[in-house]
Structure 1
Amino acid sequence: MLRRLTIRDFVIVDRLDLEFAAGFGALTGETGAGKSILLDALGLALGGRGEAAMVRSGRERADVAAEFDLPAGEGLAAWLVEQELPADEGMLILRRTIDMGGRSRAWINGVAATLAQLRAAGEWLADIHGQHAHHALLRTDAQRALLDAQAGAGALVAEVAARHREWQRLLRLQREAEADSASSARERELLAWQLRELEQVGFDIEEWAEINAEHARLAHAASLIEGAEAAVVALGEGELAVCSVLGRLDGRIAALADFDAGLADVRELISAAAIQADEALHALRRYRDRLDLDPGRLAELERRIAAVMEAARKYRVQPEELPALAQQWRERLDTLEATADPARLAAAAQAARAAFESVAAELTAARLPAARRLSEEIAAAMQDLAMAGGRFEVALTPCAPSAAGVEEVEFRVAANAGQPLRSLAKVASGGELSRIGLAIQVITSRDSAVPTLIFDEVDVGIGGRVAEIVGKLLARLGQDRQVLCVTHLPQVAACADWQWRIAKREQGGETLSEVAPLDDAARVEEVARMLGGVNITATTREHAAEMLGRR
């Protein structure tokens, strides 16, 4: 459940540190006092949309943090481990900031997180029903999504969509093969010829480096031999050969060092130079002896290099890019060959259709009992919401196969006894739509595993006895989980386990929102205000106390 909400510089909130209790809590106050702003702030922490307008005027950023108990079960805990995010002592703190430029940052338990991660974590923790949520239920896709959620069919829905995409892909390839068989054959022939040409070249990147190195050596073999020979002569042959000169010099300095030990270091340096010069002479002789003028091998290498360069120029790539080009051609040729046989593609498409129909049938089988259950429960809730005799049906109508399955999902309703069932989208009365939408939200929320349910003025358009019934429904939900409700109805507020009043105040020329937890006496005053408006009489207070006493 939600334990704490901290808000800084959010719209008309400067600083709020709110601690929440379990059960059903009502948030009340004058219109425009900022009741829904609290829920907007919580929605931001849960990964909702953020924008620069949320930052309080004159401030650099808005900052919201929500602290939740970690829900029981392994789902969210396992997700946190998978995402490499900490779960600190059974708590989860979601934090979000928005700056004046609209840039957003997010954290989970103090670790930087993406907005997608924040939103994913929020889906385990709280479910917010807005005051216009019933309007979203007029859309067939929203109705289908709600039914599938009640059926626990998320995995099946995803598989049906994937199978349908594969079936349609194969059908498209089949049509293309039938329409473009001649051009496809020409392209296949060209690609096959080009691949054979590259295979004849036999290009290999490692071999290419070796060939170029060997070619450079053979192309300059005469110069290398001449240079090596000159170096051998300079080092080891003739009166002035370096090795001979260094040897004689080493002997002279050695003799002198016998008379002056100060020459020992010089002698050591000359001796080392003599040794190195001798090693260089032997290495040069071995190198010279290995060098070979091989015109035949040089010509062979030049032909090999010319063939590679010609292929590279022909296809306008660098030699090193030829293997990648060949791979690209092979993949294209494989695709063309796979689509070259319309009959084979037709068989594959038929198999894909069968696979789609099989998993679509499983989805239908999952939807049917959920539709019956949902129909019965929402119809029963309608009876309590001053719609006696009303009926509700989640209708499944066969339709052309689609990514959503093989049936259309439609919510149908008869608000009064004797009326025919009609599409929810055609319900004329706004009040009826509000009540039906509320029934749907309450019933579906009851089956949700989310520990915190939030209702933002979902009781718009109702009043009197119906409002009291709504309050009792929410109180019943609050027995199993935490329920927060922004309401303007005293009947709903009176059913709450606890209540806060949200009000505006002036400070330094600014309008700010503040929140006051209400004790029993203050609740009487607040419910009386909701009942009687500006002039609160003793009778109004008695009525308010009576309503609160009936909880």
Structure 2
Amino acid sequence: MLCQLSINNFAIVRFLELDFKPGMTSITGETGAGKSIAIDALGLCLGNRADASTVRPGATKAEVSARFSLNDIPIAKRWLEDNDLDLESECILRRTIGSDGRSRAYINGNPVPLSQAKNLGQLLIGIHGQHAHHAMLKSEHQLTLLDSYANHKMILDSVATGYQRCKLIEKELKALQLSQHERIARKQLLQYQVEELDEFSLTPGEFEEIEAEHKKLANGTALVEACKNELFILQDNDEGSVESLINAGITQAQELESYDPQLKNVVSMLNEALIQVQESSSELESYLTGLELDPQHFAYLEQRLTKTMQLARKHHVNASELATHHHKLKQELLSLDSDEEALDDLRQQVEASRESYLVHAKKLSQSRIRYAKELDRQVTQSIHELSMPKGKFTISVDFNPELSSPNGCDCIEFLVTTNPGQPLQPLSKVASGGELSRIGLGIQVITAKKVSTPTLIFDEVDVGISGPTAAVVGRMLRKLGESTQVLCVTHLPQVAGNGHQHMFVNKKTKSGKTETSMMSLNKDQRVEELARLLGGDKITNNTLANAKELLRI
């Protein structure tokens, strides 16, 4: 419930602090006095857009603060808790707007994005404006009204979730299908390339091995001659091989060691050198024995090396990368095969998600039909009370799978007949301005009863209504105020007289400056204000008596 509203330097308000009570509060004032200023200021706390023009001339900033009791609003308490904002029995929404147009929003003293203020505001207050009945001519608004009355949010969420899932899977399927022709061409090329490389079957590291062996065999003759020459130098040269020279050196060193023991290491190192030379000679002999210069094997290596180079050039890779490239092509071919499987799987998923969506959409449609019948009876009864005794109201709910949307597959249309013998027709084609106002007001009051919002504001929704009809509207709003806090801006005494309390808006000009004020009226002041509404500026005994009668009623 809204407990208090404080306004500083907003529009033509310098300072205003208002305390609100449960029940229905009537708000009246002269034309142009600014009866809706409090509603506009409250809208800023709830996240409405603002600009520098809302700041009172001469002030640096405007500030609006609204305090709410959360005792009977568990959903708002949960929201504050989920968003890590201070949770107490009361909640304060504050908004500041600078003269430069910049604004800031606060919840319980914490700076928040404007979107958060909007989200919380929707849980605290519902505002019905004077032009709401015109919006009611639109099919989408009619659907919103019916869903608000039905309050089947869980079903709506299921339908919206199912719709988004359908669209997501359909998008994936479409993306795959759009590239199907390219995939087919790519697959054909890959199949040819992989088959060619499979047939050649080059293994990782094989190219390096072939290249090394080919080089060895290509230089086989020179290799044999060089090895024999090396053996001749090491051990076969009778005149002075390396081995014989080292042996001679060892003998000489041993003789020197006998003269001086410090030369012992020289003998040891020469012995080690001799062993190394002998092992090198043995290694060369073994190598020459095992060296086979097979012309046929050389021809095989030549052919394989040439083919490797040709395929590498064909695939624009280095010969050493051909085996890796072959593996990559095979993996890509496998992935294309899996894409075909994914297409089939996605087609099945699209069908399954569509069926699931339609199940939820049909459930939603059945719920709408049920509550539409309930709303039909109540709105028809309401328009009978609002001076349309022969009127009839019906909501048409037409389920059409081709109209799938996040809101289901229903086409909603408000139908009405205002005179006996006339068929039901769309609201926009039948109702006059006054009739539309009455029907719209009846629907707003009825749907407001079903909405959990603890505070409802009706801003001159009684435009186009007068006389006995206005009295009925007043009684409707008063009855609504018995279960919900109602703030009603009105110019009709029959409506204002039904308020549990009454506030008066006044505008004064002093020293060239205009200022709006707002005050709560006592019983005597209410009588005078109702008399003014009944008779204009000239208040007579008759208008005073009529005003007292309105209050007694």
Q: Report if TM-score (shorter chain) is over 0.5.
A: yes
Shift of 1:140: 1.0
Q: Output aligned runs, 1:4-43, within 5 Å.
A: 4-43=4-43
408, 412, 427: which is aligned to 1:409? Answer: 412
Q: Deviations over 1:65-99 (max 9, x none)?
A: 001101425322121111011123x1111101112
Q: Secondary structure at the match of 1:182?
A: helix
Give how far 1:36 is off.
Answer: 0.6
Q: Does the Cα contact within 8 Å between 2:28 and 2:496 map onto a contact in 1?
A: yes
Task: Give the C-alpha shift of residue 184 in structure 1.
Answer: 2.4
Q: 2-side partners of 1:18 and 1:190: how far apart?
A: 79
Find the aligned partners of 1:335 and 1:535 in 2 and give their Cα distance.
Answer: 89
Q: SS of the counterpart of 1:474?
A: helix
> Is contact 2:46-2:118 (8 Å) kept?
yes
Deviations 1:186-209 (A, max 9, x none): 456899999x9xxx99xxxxxxxx
| Percent identity between the two aligned chains | 41
Q: What's the counterpart of residue 493 of structure 1?
A: 496
* Number of residue equivalences: 421
Contact 1:383 1:390 in 2 (8 A): yes
Whole-angstrom distance in 1 between the partners of 2:68 and 2:506: 25
Q: Distance in 2 between matches of 1:138 and 1:427?
A: 11
In the TM superposition, what whole-angstrom CA distance separates every residue of 1:454-505 from its partner, at most 9, and x where no partner exists? 1000000000000000000111011112111000001111111111110111
1-side partners of 2:187 and 2:113: how far apart? 46
2:119 counterpart letter in structure 1: A
RMSD: 3.0
- Counterpart in 2 of 1:51? 51
Which residue of 1 is the match for residue 282 of structure 2?
none
Residue 113 of structure 2 aligns with which residue? 114
Is structure 2 residue 398 aligned with structure 1 residue 393?
Answer: no
2:357 aligned with 1:368, yes or no? no
Q: 1:168 to 1:117 in 2, by over 3 A?
A: closer
Give the AA of the match of 1:412. Answer: L
| 1:355 alignment partner in structure 2 | 356
Distance in 1 separating the partners of 2:45 and 2:352: 47
Change (3 A) 1:116 1:525: same
- Residue of structure 1 equivalent to 2:98: 99
Deviations along 1:232-253, whole A, 9 cap, x unmatched? xxxxxxxxxxxxxxxxxxxxxx
Change (3 A) 1:24 1:183: same
| 150-159 or 51-60, which deviates more | 150-159
SS of the aligned residue for 2:538 comes to coil
Mapped to 2, the partners of 1:480 and 1:153 lie a distance apart of 21
Counterpart position of 2:304: none
1:430 positional shift: 0.4
- The structure with the larger Rg is 2
Aligned AA (1:395): S
Q: How big is each residue's C-alpha offset from its partner over 1:432-456, in whole Å with a ceiling of 9 and x where there is no partner?
A: 0000000000000111211111100
CA contact (8 A) 2:151 2:451 kept: no
Matched, 1:466 2:469: yes
Query: Given the alignment, which residue of 540, 545, 549 partners 2:548?
Result: 545
**Could you say what secondary structure the match of 2:57 adopts?**
coil
What TM-score comes out, normalization by structure 1 length? 0.71
Distance in 2 of aligned mates of 1:537 and 1:468: 21
Alpha-carbon distance between aligned partners in 2 of 1:366 and 1:11, rounded to the nearest angstrom: 45
* Residue identity in the other structure for 2:455: T
One-letter amino acid matched to 1:447: K
Instruction: Report the equivalent of 2:75.
Output: 75
Alpha-carbon distance change, 14 to 165 in structure 1, aligned in 2, over 3 angstroms? same
TM superposition shift of 1:13: 0.5
Query: What residue is the counterpart of 1:512 in the other structure?
Result: 515
Partners of 2:188 and 2:153 in 1: CA distance: 46
Structure-2-length-normalised TM-score: 0.71
The more displaced of 37-46 and 335-344 is 335-344
Deviation at 1:334, TM superposition (A): 6.5
Structure 2 contact 535–543 (Cα < 8 Å) conserved: yes
Q: Is the 8 A contact 2:151 2:450 kept in 1?
A: no
2:365 and 2:399 in contact (8 A); partners too? no
Question: Any idea what SS the aligned residue of 2:409 has?
Answer: strand
Deviation at 1:534, TM superposition (A): 2.0
Change (3 A) 1:93 1:171: closer
What is the CA-CA distance between 1:116 and the residue it aligns to? 1.5
Determine whether 1:134 maps to 2:133: yes
The 1-side partners of 2:532 and 2:85 are apart by: 46
After superposition, the Cα gap between the structure-2 partners of 1:339 and 1:134, relative to the gap in structure 1 and judged at 3 Å, is farther
Contact in 2 for aligned 1:446/1:477 (Cα 8 Å): yes
CA deviations 1:13-64 (Å, max 9, x no partner) are: 0100111122111110111100011101111112222222211122221110
1:440-479 matches, within 5 Å, as 440-479=443-482
Distance in 2 between the 1:513 and 1:188 partners? 78
Corresponding residue number in structure 2 for 1:206: none
Partners of 2:551 and 2:139 in 1: CA distance: 40
User: Unmatched 5+ residue regions in structure 2?
Assistant: 198-202, 205-315, 318-330
Q: In structure 1, what is the Cα distance between the partners aligned to 2:79 and 2:178?
A: 48
Q: Which residue among 424, 430, 435 is the counterpart of 1:421? A: 424
Distance 1:342 1:25 in 2: 62
CA shift, 1:119, in A, is 1.3
Supply the AA of the counterpart residue of 1:431.
G
CA distance in 2, matches of 1:138, 1:334: 54
Query: Which amino acid letter does the alignment assign opposite residue 488 of structure 2?
Result: C
| 8 Å contact kept, 1:174–1:339 | no
Letter in 2 for 1:402: S
- CA contact 1:71–1:451 (8 Å) conserved in 2: no
Alignment of 1:308-387 (within 5 A): 337-338=338-339, 343-387=344-388
Mapped to 1, the partners of 2:341 and 2:428 lie a distance apart of 48
Is 1:159 aligned to 2:161, yes or no?
Answer: no
Label 1:183 to 1:22 Cα distance change in 2 as closer, same or farther (>3 A): same
How far apart, in 2, do the equivalents of 1:6 and 1:176 lie? Answer: 55
Q: 1:190 to 1:532 in 2, by over 3 A?
A: farther
Structure 1 CA distance for aligned equivalents of residues 465 and 54 of structure 2: 30
Instruction: Report the alpha carbon displacement of residue 4 of structure 1 after superposing the two structures with TM.
Output: 0.6
Aligned CA distance change for structure 1 residues 174 and 452 (closer, same or farther; 3 Å)? closer
CA distance in 2 between counterparts of 1:335 and 1:158 reads 37
Aligned to 2:438: 435
d(CA) in 1 for partners of 2:339, 2:161 = 21
Q: Please state how far the C-alpha of 1:156 moved relative to its aligned partner.
A: 2.4
Where do 5+ consecutive residues of structure 1 fail to align? 202-313, 316-329
